[in-house]
Structures are given as structure tokens and as C-alpha cells.
Structure 1
Amino acid sequence: MNNLFQQAEEFIWCNARLLERRLFDFYFKSGSAQAVLAALCAYQNEDGGFGNALEPDIRCPESQPVPTQHALEILDVVGFDAAVGQRICDFLMTITTEEGGVPYVLPSVNHYPRAPWWHTDDNPPASLNPTAIICGLLHKNKAQHPWLERATAYCWEKIPGILPTDQHEMGCVLAFLRYAPQRTPAEREMARLTQHLLSSGLVAEAGTAGYVRKVLDWAPWPDDPLRAHFSEQEIQAHLAEVVAGQQADGGWPITWPPVSPGCEMEWRGWTTVGALRVLRANGYFSQ
């Protein structure tokens, strides 16, 4: 496993963006959270949202909901910055629809190179993806903002009774339910949707090709609540698949068509850091 780590480290220093290099340094080399925050905030716009290809498949500089979600995911790991979080919520207020949530993507995406699934009409509706996960992360980090109250109400209007067939929507909803302050309905819906997740085909088996979510995408950490639903044999099979997925250059691949070769390398820096985190958390090395 030391050779696996060394090859991955070489790949990251040679190819990854500054943000992923800082994240690698933070996770594995005692790098500072402040260095990660400085790299992350380079993607933040004056309106408080995040753009500038933080999500590599969205090349537009303007702020977008999903890149803003990704910024919150990073802040959640390295340490939530209240000032950055406040600016994010201020931005979200400006793009919230009458329904109370934010759209999946904003029309500004249409004017720049992008993956084909990043396209929208002029007036996109609110969507649980990413409204729900944004709410969940803000609740987890004890944020206080009028936007959060309104968006939480939107999530509770939409979630009861739904049966998501899209892996992203399901992930967003589960993240909301994990951290929503209304614990009784959250636990009820979590139990219902967990059963749907396990029976709906949204958890792909080891060896499945293409753009799917597998066991370790749903339950990457040993203490993840969803781990109880998977056998040790399943976990080990998926971990072995992660190990086998390392490429000759030391990095891990993506499973969808990239916008460009440069975009692909940006994504591979992200996926390589993620693969190393999962392998270490599951005992494959102790770096």
C-alpha cells in the first residue's frame, strides 16, 4: 500500500489543481485548514457564491448552486468558516425560487463550455438537488440565516413520500435528513428512504461499469450509518475494486466523459484524493 500512496502522491503533485494539492496536504501531510480555505475562496465570487470551474464540468465563472454545495462540503471537512457561510447564504437568497429552494443549475451555465447535462431553461425550478444537501451541511455546522429556514421548509414540503430514482437527488435528501433539526420526521423518512435505496438499484454492485454509485460512495466511512446494511464481504470487494482502479500514472479515473483533457485532469485530482481518504479510513494504509 505504501507504493500505492507514493504513486498517488506523485500524481497529485504533478497534475492536480492547487485546491486538491492543499486538500492532500491537509489530509495526509499536516497541512493547514487555512491553506485549503485560501485556495477554496479563489473560486468564490463577490456575490458570495462559488463558480469559476470549482465543479470542473461547469466552466462558467458565475456562481452556481452545485459548485457552492461543493464549497460547503470542503468547509465541512476542514472547518466551517462562519463568514464564508454567511456570504454563501446571502447568495442563495438571491437565486431562491418562489418554491423556497434553489435550482439545480442557473442559465448562466449555457454561455460557457460545460458537460451536456449542465444545461437549463431560462427559469429553472427549485430542486432538492442541491437544496437539500446544502441545508443539511448548514444545519450540521450550526449556521443561522433566514435562507436556511425557508429552504428547510421547502425540503420538508418535498421529501415526505418521494421515492428518488436519481442517485444525486437521493444523496442530497439523505444528507438533509441526517442533519435536519426536526429529528422525529427525519428519522422516519431516513428509514423509509434507506429501504428504498437498498431495493431500487441505486447501489451498484462491485464491477459495474459506468457512472454509478457503489457501496463506498454511499457509505465510505466505517462509522457511516449506512454501513450496517452492507456485509463485510461487500465492503472488502468494493475496497479491492478501488485499489485496482489506480491507473499507471498513479491517479484514479473518472467514469463520465470530460469536457476537455484539462477538465479530466482536474477531476482526477479530486477523485484521487477521495480514493486515498476512503482507503486510509478503511485500514488500507496509515499515512
Structure 2
Amino acid sequence: MEKRFVDGRDFIRCAGRLLERRLFATCFEAAPGTGVLDALRGYRNDDGGFGHGLEPDKRCPASLPIDVECALQAMVTARTVDPALVRDACDYLATVTVGGAVPLAFPVIEDYPRAEHWSDWTYEPGLNPTAGIVGLLYELGVEHPWTATASAYVWTTLDTVDLPADAHALSEVLGFLEHTPERGRAIAAADRVRDALTKASWFRLDPDDDAYGLSPLSVAPSADSPWRGLFGEDVIQAHLDRLERDQQDDGGWPVTWEPPGQAALGEWRGIVTLGSLRTLVSYGRLSPGPDPR
């Protein structure tokens, strides 16, 4: 087991949330995914949604679509699913859907600490997060009437409206295109999304750019991602080099924005560190071999 991997593991064990510790154990230590589901239930509300800062940049306990998306992402990462938990979350999404779409958040977040960028723009229903949530539901294989409603919204938007100029929304679209059963339409749309992504705000194609943004590894976080081919292999390898260099002396990876406090900063670093380890292992840059101790 490489020291860099051990250092990242130890950072998560020391500073990560229970959820990231459970996810690490599931991803790298053959722990059952039930532990991840148990951790997620602590973020669940009686309305079926998720809240309580599951996405750490807002410390709001109320259910929010972004937190539902985070819960689904955790299940995908753990390769496990609780169908009843997911269906309850979709029931919640159906109650806050407008025109087939959901927003990231609601004004209730203003009553709690939050990062500065979480403001009124997050209250507008759109492809972010609707497209990403639908893609995750397809990947998890859980059927619900909301999925068809939201999928129709995504396709109508892609077919009739200019693509978003924001890399976050385009990344959500790629998540949808990866898993929608309508493969012909998805393949036809992928190149158009790629062209828009390279010109979008918050996209960091240059690996030496220190500013906040999404990189090619954000949309192709694993070596088998269908979106790896959207970028030259030299670009992918340069970003992997940068990802390796970014590991800090404490074993964790940094974040490039201002969370609302030290607790949120630590939580985010645990999330980013787990994601970095998974990406570097997938691309063969790190080995999670047996612990020599």
C-alpha cells in the first residue's frame, strides 16, 4: 500500500465525517454498503428528503434537492441502494417540482449559516440538479413516476433551449446522458455538450489554473468513464499529475472555495479526499494494496 494512499486514508479516518469513513471502508476495504445507508439515514427527514448539511456548504436541516442528489451519489459510490429510501426521496422531489424541474435549494437556507455563493440563484429550477438526479436514479435502477416527468423536462430543455453556459449544469447533463436508456439521443447530444463545456464558466481545462472550477476529471472521475474520450489523453494525464501534486502534508486534499465555517471545511476536505483517492486508484496512479502493518 503506497504511503500517499495511506496518508489519504488516515486523513479521512481522522477528519472525515462518518459518511466518508463508511464510504472509504466500502470502496477500499470490502465493507458492506449497509453502513453507508445507515449513515445516510441520519440526514433523512420525515418528508422523505435529505438535509442537515449533507452537502456541507449550507447548514440547513430542511430537505433540499441538492441533499437528495448527494444521498443518491453516496449510494452509487457504495454500489448499494435502499429502494424504499430512494422512492421516499422521489416522493419528496415530486412535491417541490415546478415544470418538471427542481432547484438546488430554497430560501429556508437563509436562516442558517451558508457559503456566500449559496444565494437566490440556487432557488431556480433547472438542469442543475434535475438532470443529475435523474441520471443517478437511472444508475440505481429505482423506478418512480417522478423520473419520467423530470426526464421529459431534461430532453425538452436540451432539444429546445441553448445549452447552459455553466460547467456545473453541463456536468449534470453529462450524468444524465451517461445513464438515460435513450442511448441514441444521448450519443448525439454528447459532442454538443462537450463543445459547450470547454467554453463554459467555471470549467478549468488548464491543469495549472489554481482558480475554483470543474476539471476534465470532474466529468470523467474514473478510467472507464464514457466521457474520458471527450478530452485528449494528454489533458487527462496532465490533470492526474495536478491531482497528485495537490495532496497536502496532512494527507488530505484542499478545497478552492470558502465553506461557511471550519466544520464545513473539514467535511468538504474529507469528501474531496475520498474522491481524489478513488480517481487516482481508478486511473492507476495509486495502489490500495494490502496494508503492510
TM class by shorter chain equals over 0.9
Q: Which residue does the alignment assign to 1:128?
A: 127
* Of 271-280 and 110-119, the range deviating more from structure 2: 110-119
Listed one character per residue, the Cα deviations across residues 111-150 of structure 1 (whole Å, up to 9, x for unaligned) are 11101221238x9442111011111111222322121121
Relative to 1, partners in 2 of residues 1:233 and 1:182: Cα closer, same or farther, differing over 3 Å?
Answer: closer
Q: Percent identity?
A: 41
User: What SS does structure 1 have at the residue aligned with 2:222?
Assistant: coil
The correspondence of residues 23-34 of structure 1 with structure 2, limited to 5 A, is 23-34=23-34
Relative to 1, partners in 2 of residues 1:118 and 1:156: Cα closer, same or farther, differing over 3 Å?
Answer: same
The correspondence of residues 245-284 of structure 1 with structure 2, limited to 5 A, is 245-284=246-285
Which amino acid is the alignment partner of residue 205 of structure 1? D
Q: Which residue does the alignment assign to 2:60?
A: 60
Relative to 1, partners in 2 of residues 1:29 and 1:103: Cα closer, same or farther, differing over 3 Å?
Answer: same
Q: Could you tell me how far 1:203 is from its partner in structure 2?
A: 4.3
Q: Is the 8 A contact 2:5 2:287 kept in 1?
A: no
Which amino acid is the alignment partner of residue 112 of structure 1? Y
User: What SS does structure 2 have at the residue aligned with 1:159?
Assistant: helix
Gaps of 5+ in 2: 289-293
Which amino acid is the alignment partner of residue 142 of structure 2? A
Which amino acid is the alignment partner of residue 246 of structure 1? Q
Listed one character per residue, the Cα deviations across residues 30-67 of structure 1 (whole Å, up to 9, x for unaligned) are 22201111011111111111110111101000011111
Which amino acid is the alignment partner of residue 134 of structure 2? C
* Of 154-163 and 23-32, the range deviating more from structure 2: 154-163
Q: Is the 8 A contact 1:69 1:134 kept in 2?
A: yes
Q: Is the 8 A contact 1:72 1:137 kept in 2?
A: yes
Q: Which residue does the alignment assign to 2:69?
A: 69
Q: Which residue does the alignment assign to 2:158?
A: 159
Q: Is the 8 A contact 1:110 1:120 kept in 2?
A: no
Q: Is the 8 A contact 1:251 1:269 kept in 2?
A: yes
Which amino acid is the alignment partner of residue 92 of structure 1? L
Counterpart-to-counterpart distance in 2, 1:67 and 1:197? 24
Alignment RMSD, CA only?
A: 1.8
Counterpart-to-counterpart distance in 2, 1:48 and 1:220? 29
Counterpart-to-counterpart distance in 2, 1:100 and 1:218? 24
Q: Which residue does the alignment assign to 1:185?
A: 185
Q: Is the 8 A contact 1:178 1:190 kept in 2?
A: no
Relative to 1, partners in 2 of residues 1:191 and 1:236: Cα closer, same or farther, differing over 3 Å?
Answer: closer
Listed one character per residue, the Cα deviations across residues 195-248 of structure 1 (whole Å, up to 9, x for unaligned) are 322455734211111211112112122221222233333222211111111111
Q: Which residue does the alignment assign to 2:291?
A: none
The correspondence of residues 17-96 of structure 1 with structure 2, limited to 5 A, is 17-78=17-78, 79-96=80-97
Q: Is the 8 A contact 2:96 2:102 kept in 1?
A: yes
Q: Which residue does the alignment assign to 1:237?
A: 238
Counterpart-to-counterpart distance in 2, 1:215 and 1:197? 10
User: What SS does structure 2 have at the residue aligned with 1:225?
Assistant: coil
Relative to 1, partners in 2 of residues 1:92 and 1:208: Cα closer, same or farther, differing over 3 Å?
Answer: same
Counterpart-to-counterpart distance in 2, 1:176 and 1:77? 16
Counterpart-to-counterpart distance in 2, 1:218 and 1:141? 18
Counterpart-to-counterpart distance in 2, 1:69 and 1:96? 14
Counterpart-to-counterpart distance in 2, 1:115 and 1:265? 14
User: What SS does structure 2 have at the residue aligned with 1:101?
Assistant: coil
In the alignment, does 2:30 pair up with 1:5? no
Q: Is the 8 A contact 2:2 2:286 kept in 1?
A: yes
Relative to 1, partners in 2 of residues 1:271 and 1:182: Cα closer, same or farther, differing over 3 Å?
Answer: same
Counterpart-to-counterpart distance in 2, 1:219 and 1:30? 24
Q: Could you tell me how far 1:276 is from its partner in structure 2?
A: 0.5
Q: Is the 8 A contact 1:66 1:105 kept in 2?
A: yes
Which amino acid is the alignment partner of residue 34 of structure 1? T
Which amino acid is the alignment partner of residue 220 of structure 1? P
Listed one character per residue, the Cα deviations across residues 240-268 of structure 1 (whole Å, up to 9, x for unaligned) are 11111111111100010121111100100
Gaps of 5+ in 1: none
Q: Normalising by the residue count of structure 2, what TM-score does the alignment of the two structures yield?
A: 0.92
